[in-house]
Amino acid sequence: MREGRARRGTLPPRHRVGPEVEYRGELRDRFEEILTPEATEFLVALDDRFEEERQEVLRRRGGLRAELKAGRVPGPLKATENLRRRDWRVPPPPRDLLDRRVEITGPVDRKMIINALNSGARVYMADFEDAHAPTWVGTVQGQVNLYDAVRRTIGYQSPDGREYRLNPETATLMVRPRGWHLDESHLWIRGHPISASLFDFGLYFFHNVEELVEHGTGPYFYLPKLEDHREAELWNEVFLRAEERFDLPTGTIRATALIETLPAAFQMDEILWELRDHSVGLNCGRWDYLFSFIKQYRDVPSIVFPDRARLTMGSPFLTAYSRLLIETCHRRGAHAMGGMAAQIPIKNDEAANAAALANVAEDKFREVRAGHDGTWVAHPGLVPLALSVFDAEMPGPNQIDRPLPALRTNPAELLDLPTGPVSEEGVRRNCRAAFRYLASWLRGIGCVPIDHLMEDAATAEIARSQLWQWVHHGARIGGRRKVDGAIVREFLRREAAELRKERGEPTESSSSARAFSILDRLVTSDRLEEFMTQYAYSELPEAPEEIGG
């Protein structure tokens, strides 16, 4: 989005805060508490120091894809072989991150923040990335909400009059800023939009670091979408500059890097090393990892992945990915975090709910027995179940010192490609997930329950990229009917009609109509777009329809 193309509708108001610094978005109640001159000065300093490096690391992306296209089998980096052989460990985790057996994630609206912090999970990851539609109002309101949560003054009253407040004991707060590839188009500095990563990180850190440290915790982050260890190195440099600005000891900031791209899976040691004193583990971001896997093989027409429902953690390539992450982290003294349970409790269907909970329990038993130190859930209702599994299998706060198996995972096992059929139901479900998610995202809602699963950008991207792969790599339903643009449009039209009926939307100019048009272009285009949400960013409204306070 470097070109900063015009957004849908009228241009937002502009607020100059310096000769070359301009906010392009309305200022709502309390926004001026967040977008202060001092905070803006901090953001400008980060942009001045790191924007050129950010563009450089983004230009480096694509090397593994080129190797796969050329028929070469990628592997660990030769240049860092000595680093991998050396015996080194990251610093021990801080006290309030020692036990992370269950973490809950979700968007940054007020009600979600309160419920997640009260959920009984050890950690709540407040998400500005995959679970967040980055409207201007929703993003800055999210910073207001976190400001209040850090100070324990956050409250929310629902339309039915119910009051929400924090319990005396709450989860430890972590924050996930947006990835390096994204811009925040509402703050322009010297002719370009600021990095969304620096915007999200900078505002949260600037306003809350002193309060966090004073209360015995710290600024803790999850780092998304890394594709190369030099992207982790860039984050480390940002952390050092931020700590220096506030005269804080190195390592005050702690971060867990998500291994959610195929290139990063070959560089786990390097990513831990680059973050150095700031590192506190790696996480199996398995949904984005599947999405990345499909993207990396976009130029290899012989590769056709089976239905999304068959791409489970029991698949050899995903089992190897999980096992390699555990081995790497524990060898280096870091947490090896498991993946997301996307299920949500099913009301009014006891049998279906029991089956869903059984699937969650099976997944969590697999993770803890494999050696993971914690896991993710998407709904407060799943916290007790996940806790019960880890409590039963992991008596200590983590498994970092658990003896490693004698045989290590061969990185080549990461490329043990999945096989299986493509079904009409698989095509239909992908159309449904991608369409319904995008239609909600275009209304400013970034986390959506669909068919008893909590879908976010990562899961929707799997569906979208699979549809593209099936159309362009000659997939056939049951080995017969070819998956093409016509069948995708057929299913998308059905979903659009059903959703418009549910919402009572007009046919034209609705989020459903725009979602249909965008997905049709994305799936049938000769080029697989890197990110659906980046492609559609200019279509977002200034404010979400529902921001939960």
Kindly list the catalytic residues.
Answer: 176, 456
Residue type, 92: P
Helix axes 286-296, 316-331, angle to 10 degrees: 120
**How many Cα atoms occupy the beta-carbon half-sphere of 202 within 13 Å?**
25
Is 105 within 8 Å of 124 (Cβ atoms)? Answer: yes
Q: In whole angstroms, what is the distance from residue 507 CA to residue 513 CA?
A: 7
DSSP string of 477-490, one letter each residue = ETTTEEP-HHHHHH
Q: In whole angstroms, what is the distance from residue 476 CA to residue 482 CA?
A: 4
Contacts of 332 (CB under 8 A, 6+ apart): 88, 89, 90, 269, 272
Nearest to 134 by CA among 548, 545, 540, 549: 540
Nearest to 136 by CA among 90, 184, 88, 99: 184
> Rounded to 5 degrees, what are φ and ψ at 28?
-95, 180
Q: In whole angstroms, what is the distance from residue 227 CA to residue 16 CA?
A: 35
Q: What is the largest CA-CA distance in the chain?
A: 65
Q: Please give the span between the terminal C-alpha atoms of the chain, in angstroms, as a whole number.
A: 29
Q: In whole angstroms, what is the distance from residue 92 CA to residue 345 CA?
A: 36
Q: In whole angstroms, what is the distance from residue 37 CA to residue 55 CA?
A: 26
For residue 317, CA distances in Å to 80, 126, 197, 294, 360 come to 24, 29, 30, 13, 20
Q: In whole angstroms, what is the distance from residue 235 CA to residue 255 CA?
A: 9
Strands 183-189 and 172-176: what pairing?
Answer: unpaired
Contacts of 71 (CB under 8 A, 6+ apart): none
Q: In whole angstroms, what is the distance from residue 351 CA to residue 187 CA?
A: 50
Is 311 within 8 Å of 305 (Cβ atoms)? Answer: yes
Nearest to 284 by CA among 321, 232, 235: 321
Q: In whole angstroms, what is the distance from residue 378 CA to residue 344 CA?
A: 7
Q: In whole angstroms, what is the distance from residue 140 CA to residue 135 CA?
A: 9
Q: In whole angstroms, what is the distance from residue 302 CA to residue 72 CA?
A: 15
CB-CB neighbours of 316 under 10 Å: 12
Cross-strand pairs, 327:
none
Residue with tokens 């003896």: 403
